[in-house]
Chains A and B, each alone.
Chain A
Amino acid sequence: MSLLYSEVEEELRAAVRGLLADRCPPAAVLKRIESDPYDPDLWKTLAGEIGVAGLLIPEQYGGAGASASEAAVVLEELGRGVAPVPFFTSSVLATRALLPTGDALLEELAEGRKTAALVVPFAASPYRPGAPVRVADGRLTGTVTGVAGADVADVLLAPVDGRLYAVEEGAEVEGVPSLDLTRPVATVTFDATPARDVGECDLAEVLGFGAGLLASEQLGVAEWCLDTTLAYVKERHQFARPVGSFQAIKHRLADLWLDVVRARAAARSAATDGSAVSVAVAQSWNAGVAVHAAEEALQLHGGIGMTWEHPVHLYLKRAKASEIALGTPGDHREALASLVDVPGPE
């Protein structure tokens, strides 16, 4: 299996990147985040015209039947744009949970007519899955915090004890201030809420799959930070020279570039083979690289990097929040201990 990008993937990338450059540049994201971060029209175009909503859904349900590595390329671009759209939460996580059930809802998700959210904390670990929701007589009860994408979801999908339940009405969804302004989180409360049992759900598998693809979004975040910082240090002059001509700056950027190069290989590996080892490697590396890239970007922009008006803070917030999403780097390294036989102390 190749770690390079296919032509189809590059075409998909170009389409998404072009649309985001037109309709969702960082300045536009910045303008919207405090009121209503999501741009429904943008999502409509992405989901419907470019067809990203149904990428992972087989053709028999109206989707594109594409592979994870194509979804990964979309995520790279969405990360690069810190785009506030529910692709990851609805078209990746919720969709993956729904796929084995073959439920009719898949067709609505494929067309982008509806979006769904998986009711688990976004920080849930694939290695210790579970959410505090109980089911009795077809009704759900419980409160789940930190649910990403719930505020814009038409359907909530709650995994409980190996089954998946769909809730369209009656749940309380309360947005809370989120560290990542571009991916809001909410508290979801069920109080004997009627739910439809849609089938079996292997939550650990779903979260692991999501973790592997999240590495591609983190790569996109890191790439934007590196590219934007490079452009800045070439232009910004101090001591009568471009800041980027000082070795102290150049060496940091060379090291960062090398981290990003390796993040690209790790993301491709997780997207193309999807094995538990590849996922754990990609998450334990890429999560840190995205945070480091954003931190370097902020520092190397000097004072302007610390302001609200410069978009670098959006990337830092996205990077830091996604570092703890779907397992921290430490969780993934711990998993590797048994996956690749590096046993701990006895």
Chain B
Amino acid sequence: MDVNIKERVAAFLAEHDPDGDRLEFLRARFDAGLAWVWYPEGLGGLGAPRELQSVVERELAGTPQLNAGVQAIGLGMAAPTILAFGTEEQKRRFLRPLWTGEELWCQLFSEPGAGSDLATLATRAVRDGDEWVVDGQKVWTSGAHHARWAILVARTDPDVPKHRGLTYFVCDMHAPGVEVRPLRQITGEAEFNEVFLTGVRLPDDLRLGEVGDGWRVAQTTLMNERVAIGGAPVGRGGGMVGVVLDAWRAQPELRTHDLHQRLLSLWVESEVTRLSGVRLREQLAAGHPGPEGSGMKLSFAKLNQELSGFEVEFARDLGYDDDWTFRRSEGVDFYGRGRGYRYLRAKGNSIEGGTSEILRNIISERVLGLPSEPRVDKDVPWKDLPR
């Protein structure tokens, strides 16, 4: 299969000029099944083993690339959920422009009253003939300001316990009644938004999965979100530790023995985390997904925070190497910009996509089999829960 895939890429490149129109090139790449090779044919893939994707990426390294920052939610969360739960029509409608970046996506999950306890969310969707009418407020919505579509979880039945009354939708961000307001963050910029949904009408063919099955569909999104945040392959000495090492090597006069010891410890932790990511991907490729995935985002958050904090301390610079002006950000950027920005932005890594505390609960209950804390909300209809 390895030779085969290289031949396919070569054949594709013979037909399409990477120096021509960027969008045309990306569309053609999708149609050739070289977008994500493990997806089915006709949907950007070849039904091939997932590990072959890295071969494709290597072969196409010098060609037009996706914008990973602005497309992160579409690629990492929306696409795998649509693939798993969408109808054929939905898959054909959404996946291609999602992949090429023609249509950007955001995620309407969290609410002011429902973060870690996401299943308490209160945004209502009420059926009206062939349409649903959505009312509510979402928060921490990255990139909503340039999103064409959103994945949305809403409550469709308040009379059953909280996990059972949810339904999953694709929300049209251009529909009347969708209002996006920026949320300024500790970095000064507004990457997040509040999204107000007032009488938003969504046709029933934008529903993803069955009515009342929204929690199960959302689980797919959330699992993929954690892998997308924590499980990205990096080379030895890459990612945040690479950024810090560049600074370290460039400024020998600032090095101290104490910082050296700490940096070496962080280097080792980065490396063993990287190695378990390699091992995880080998398990996936061999068809034996291990529980290791649950830990990847947890270690990613801790390392990013420690390393970015280390870098500020190392530089001994009291300034903010960016500025505090309010601005709309283009995309999620963990490593770019300056060290002050990185330090502040990394604080979100242990909150977004599942807090580290929730991830520890998931590991201890689902991987280690420890009993859950006593639950007071399990069998109570959502409408009767104290709020």
Would you call the interface of chain A mostly helix, strand, loop, or mixed? helix
B282 neighbours in A (Cβ, 8 Å): 2-4
- Are A250 and B252 CB-contacts (below 8 A) given A245-B372, A261-B295? no
Q: Check B264–A257 contact: CB distance below 8 A.
A: no
Q: Check B275–A262 contact: CB distance below 8 A.
A: yes
Q: Check A234–B264 contact: CB distance below 8 A.
A: no
Q: Check A337–B264 contact: CB distance below 8 A.
A: yes
Q: Check B371–A265 contact: CB distance below 8 A.
A: no
Q: Check A244–B260 contact: CB distance below 8 A.
A: no
A241 neighbours in B (Cβ, 8 Å): 371, 374
Considering the complex, give the chain A residue whose CB is closest to the CB of B267. A342
**How far, in whole Å, are A229 and B268 apart by their CA atoms in the complex?**
26
Q: What is the minimal beta-carbon distance from B124 to any residue of chain A, in angstroms?
A: 32
Is residue B133 contacting chain A, with contact meaning CB distance below 8 A?
A: no
**How far, in whole Å, are A251 and B361 apart by their CA atoms in the complex?**
7
User: How many residues of A are counted as interface, with CB atoms below 8 angstroms from the partner's CB atoms?
Assistant: 43
Q: Check B271–A281 contact: CB distance below 8 A.
A: yes
A263 neighbours in B (Cβ, 8 Å): 272
With most chain B CB atoms within 10 A of its CB, the pick from A234, A245, A250, A266 is: A250
**How far, in whole Å, are A4 and B364 apart by their CA atoms in the complex?**
24
Q: Check A342–B295 contact: CB distance below 8 A.
A: no
Q: What is the minimal beta-carbon distance from A219 to any residue of chain B, in angstroms?
A: 12
Is residue B261 contacting chain A, with contact meaning CB distance below 8 A?
A: yes
Q: Check B267–A336 contact: CB distance below 8 A.
A: yes
- Are A344 and B260 CB-contacts (below 8 A) given A230-B369, A250-B370, A263-B272? yes
Considering the complex, give the chain A residue whose CB is closest to the CB of B290. A261
A341 neighbours in B (Cβ, 8 Å): 249
A244 neighbours in B (Cβ, 8 Å): 364, 370-371
**How far, in whole Å, are A230 and B363 apart by their CA atoms in the complex?**
13
**How far, in whole Å, are A233 and B368 apart by their CA atoms in the complex?**
11
With most chain A CB atoms within 10 A of its CB, the pick from B264, B292, B299, B373 is: B264
**How far, in whole Å, are A30 and B130 apart by their CA atoms in the complex?**
72
Q: Check B371–A262 contact: CB distance below 8 A.
A: no
B298 neighbours in A (Cβ, 8 Å): 254, 258
Q: What is the minimal beta-carbon distance from B317 to any residue of chain A, in angstroms?
A: 18
**How far, in whole Å, are A334 and B264 apart by their CA atoms in the complex?**
8
**How far, in whole Å, are A263 and B271 apart by their CA atoms in the complex?**
11
A2 neighbours in B (Cβ, 8 Å): 282
Q: Tell me which of B249, B264, B275 contacts A3 (CB under 8 A).
A: B275
Considering the complex, give the chain B residue whose CB is closest to the CB of A259. B272
Q: Report 26 cross-chain contacts, Cβ distance below 8 Å, ordered by A residue.
A: A4-B282, A234-B371, A242-B370, A244-B371, A247-B361, A250-B361, A250-B364, A251-B360, A254-B298, A254-B363, A254-B368, A255-B360, A265-B276, A266-B272, A268-B279, A281-B271, A284-B268, A285-B268, A333-B265, A336-B264, A337-B264, A341-B249, A342-B245, A342-B248, A344-B260, A346-B255
